[in-house]
Amino acid sequence: MKNFIEDLDVKGHLQITKVFTNGRQEIVFDDHNIIVSGMGLGLSYLFSLSGSQDILDYQIDRFQVGVSGSPAAEVSSTYELVGPLSSTEYGDNALLYVVEGYHARDSQYYQGPESYGYIPPHKVSKVGERSVRYTITLDKDSCNSLNRDGTDMALNEIGLFMKNPLGSKLALDNSVLVAYRYFSGIEKTEDFSLVFRWTINW
């Protein structure tokens, strides 16, 4: 699928901003991201009409954040986050809508269910003739004070997912990772929100 992505010249850019409760903003990350082979898988199903027959299944409408990312995961073959959060770790806040779903590696393999943050349509905007921006906000009450087995954890990876391109008839959507990025650890607290502005260009 790598050549398919390269032929379309799909690229991405991610900016992460801390927004403090007093209104102050601090950009903590601003760099390209990795478009992974799942993008090619999803688009090939779309263009060949061999996947889902519902165009909405090809939307990039969910994300995961995690705590175990590494530069080694920034390769086109990556199909999952290293340490994605559970639904309870996202936090019980109505401003962040968490959905459950399966996770496809390819047309023959899936796992889960797992938890995903939902990206509502009003957080997706066209910013150029061939650019779309996804705005993801972890508000001040989300993903705070993460701890696993007595160890404090910091957010350090994020991925974008296509909803259900394979047209799976499972009870839950079978999503595909299309973009991934590792970043230096951010210990999330209630003192600030984290805003991810992720732009995909083609």
Which residues are 147's β-sheet partners? Answer: 152
List, for residues 30-81, the tens digit of each pLDDT value. 999 999 999 999 999 998 889 999 999 999 999 999 999 999 999 999 999 9
Beta strands in 21-154 (DSSP E): 25-32, 34-35, 60-66, 98-106, 109-118, 124-128, 131-138, 147-148, 151-152
Length reported for the chain = 202
Please tell me the distance from the alpha carbon of residue 158 to that of residue 152, in angstroms, as a whole number: 18
All residue ranges of the chain with pLDDT < 70 are 1-8, 94
The DSSP H or E segment spanning 48 is helix 37-48
Please tell me the distance from the alpha carbon of residue 27 to that of residue 139, in angstroms, as a whole number: 16
68, 151 Cβ separation under 8 angstroms: no
The answer to pTM > 0.85 is yes
Please tell me the predicted confidence (pLDDT) of residue 2.
Answer: 46
- Paired sense of beta strands 174-186 and 98-106, if any: parallel
Please tell me the predicted confidence (pLDDT) of residue 166.
Answer: 93
Which residues are 18's β-sheet partners? Answer: 26, 194
3-class secondary-structure state, position 135: strand
